[in-house]
């Protein structure tokens, strides 16, 4: 493993095992960074831990936090990968102390948890690229307007269906349950139940037990996005996913178009690199094949030329043999003539030629009846042998 691999694995391990915990302590060394993120140390009598609250989580906090303040934090453990530092990522911060509504809330939460409504094995995964999204909220609310803004800025490909509902008051739970059931029968990819921030009393309709069971029994994945990041409702626990705010729900659900473009650029670059590598490899193989083909063609040409040369050699041999045979025949005849002439010169000084059928012949070769021509140095006579 590389160092980065190790840090990322440790981070994933921590976040998966401590993804929703509460801790109490005293704020110390608070720093509000120019980026909007907050950093401080949370300590008790014996220990301390670094805490980060990112801009998205802290921008709607209504109270001021200060050094020395005792608070309850809700969030997850994580590791900052670049330097491997161990830290707590808080998404909610509450001053110490609870009231009557909080007690009622905790009692209902314990009862539903015992009934298994919060168990992780019942949580349905959210779609990575949703196509049909239902939103249950008040059509006239600022929260819905903020959600639409995030949709337009982030990812506009899905179809969105608005289910206008009451989100406050005594009649709100029944209206919310009705909308959940209608939306659940529309073959949607996901349903978002959303409401902007408010007091505990304003948000109390989302702590309804019947609504919790309606969310639990729905076959469609449901996101609960109620209040600000510091607000928790029963719907948050029973839903398949809890978002800090309505706008955060859109961020959690919808992919970032800009990030997709970057991924596509990376994929395109990788594909181009692969294609270039492949083309280069096959070009080398092609050039090698061309070289081999050329080499084979030369060998074929040499073989053909050799064959042709063998044929030419054979023809030449035949031609030369014929010429040599003819020349040899003429030489032999010429030698015979020379022998005959030499013989006649030896017989007499007054040499005569005996011609028969245009050929010089010896006297011994003649027989009775042969017509011959006798040539001497000064005359020629016709004669018949008797």
| Phi and psi at residue 124, to the nearest 5° | -95, 140
Per-residue CA distances from 371 to 51, 247, 341, 352 (Å): 147, 142, 20, 16
Per-residue CA distances from 375 to 364, 378, 382 (Å): 17, 8, 9
Residue with tokens 């440790």: 10
Average pLDDT on 222-241 reads: 92
Residue 187 pLDDT class (50, 70, 90 cuts): very high
In whole angstroms, what is the distance from residue 65 CA to residue 166 CA? 33
Residues 6 or more apart whose Cβ sits within 8 Å of residue 350: 376, 377
Tell me: pLDDT of 262 over 90.
no
Tell me: pLDDT of 128 over 70.
yes
Tell me: pLDDT of 349 over 60.
no
Tell me: pLDDT of 342 over 80.
no
65-69, 202-206, 338-342: the lowest-pLDDT one: 338-342
Q: Which two structure tokens, joined as six digits, stand for 242?
A: 């809890």
Note the pLDDT tens digit of each residue in 143-166: 999 999 999 999 988 999 999 999
Tell me: pLDDT of 231 over 50.
yes
Tell me: pLDDT of 171 over 80.
yes
Angle at 189 between CA 186 and CA 193, to 5 degrees: 80
Question: Is the pLDDT higher at 304 or at 73?
Answer: 73
127-141, 172-186, 187-201, 303-317: the lowest-pLDDT one: 303-317
Most confident of 210-224, 295-309, 347-361: 210-224
Q: Classify residue 243 by burial, with Cβ atoms within 10 Å: 0-12, 13-18, 19+.
A: buried
Per-residue CA distances from 355 to 360, 369, 383 (Å): 5, 14, 10
pLDDT at 380: 87
Residue 100 pLDDT class (50, 70, 90 cuts): very low
Question: Is the pLDDT higher at 4 or at 312?
Answer: 4
pLDDT at 345: 52
Average pLDDT on 172-196 reads: 96
């Amino acid at each position: 493993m590389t160092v980065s691999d190790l840090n990322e694995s440790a981070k994933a391990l921590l976040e998966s095992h401590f993804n929703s915990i509460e801790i109490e302590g005293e704020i110390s060394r608070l720093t509000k960074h120019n980026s909007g993120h907050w950093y401080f140390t949370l300590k008790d009598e014996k220990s301390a831990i670094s805490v980060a609250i990112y801009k998205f989580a802290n921008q709607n906090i209504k109270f001021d936090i200060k050094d020395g303040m005792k608070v309850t934090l809700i969030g997850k453990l994580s590791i900052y990968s670049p330097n491997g530092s161990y830290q707590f990522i808080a998404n909610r911060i509450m001053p110490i102390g609870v009231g009557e509504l909080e007690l009622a809330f905790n009692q209902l939460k314990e009862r539903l948890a015992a009934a298994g409504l919060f168990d992780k094995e019942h949580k349905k995964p959210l779609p990575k690229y949703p196509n049909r999204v239902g939103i249950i909220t008040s059509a006239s609310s600022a929260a819905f307007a903020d959600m639409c803004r995030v949709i337009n800025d982030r990812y506009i490909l899905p179809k969105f269906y608005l289910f206008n509902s009451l989100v406050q008051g005594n009649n709100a739970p029944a209206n919310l349950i009705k909308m959940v059931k209608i939306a659940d029968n529309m073959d949607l990819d996901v349903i978002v139940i959303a409401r902007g921030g408010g007091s505990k009393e304003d948000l109390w309709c989302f702590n309804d037990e019947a609504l919790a069971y309606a969310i639990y029994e729905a076959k469609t994945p449901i996101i609960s996005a109620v209040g600000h990041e510091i607000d928790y409702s029963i719907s948050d626990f029973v839903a398949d996913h809890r978002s800090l705010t309505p706008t955060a729900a859109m961020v959690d659900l919808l992919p970032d178009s800009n990030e997709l473009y970057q991924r596509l650029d990376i994929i395109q670059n990788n594909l181009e690199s692969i294609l270039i590598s492949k083309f280069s490899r096959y070009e080398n193989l092609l050039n090698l094949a061309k070289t081999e083909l050329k080499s084979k063609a030369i060998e074929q040409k040499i073989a053909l030329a050799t064959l042709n040369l063998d044929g030419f050699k054979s023809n030449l041999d035949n031609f030369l043999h014929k010429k040599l045979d003819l020349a040899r025949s003429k030489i032999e005849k010429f030698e015979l003539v020379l022998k005959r002439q030499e013989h006649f010169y030896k017989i007499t000084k007054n040499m005569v030629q005996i011609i028969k059928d245009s050929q010089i012949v010896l006297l011994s070769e003649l027989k009775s009846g042969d017509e011959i021509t006798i040539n001497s140095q000064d005359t020629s006579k016709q004669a018949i042998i008797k």
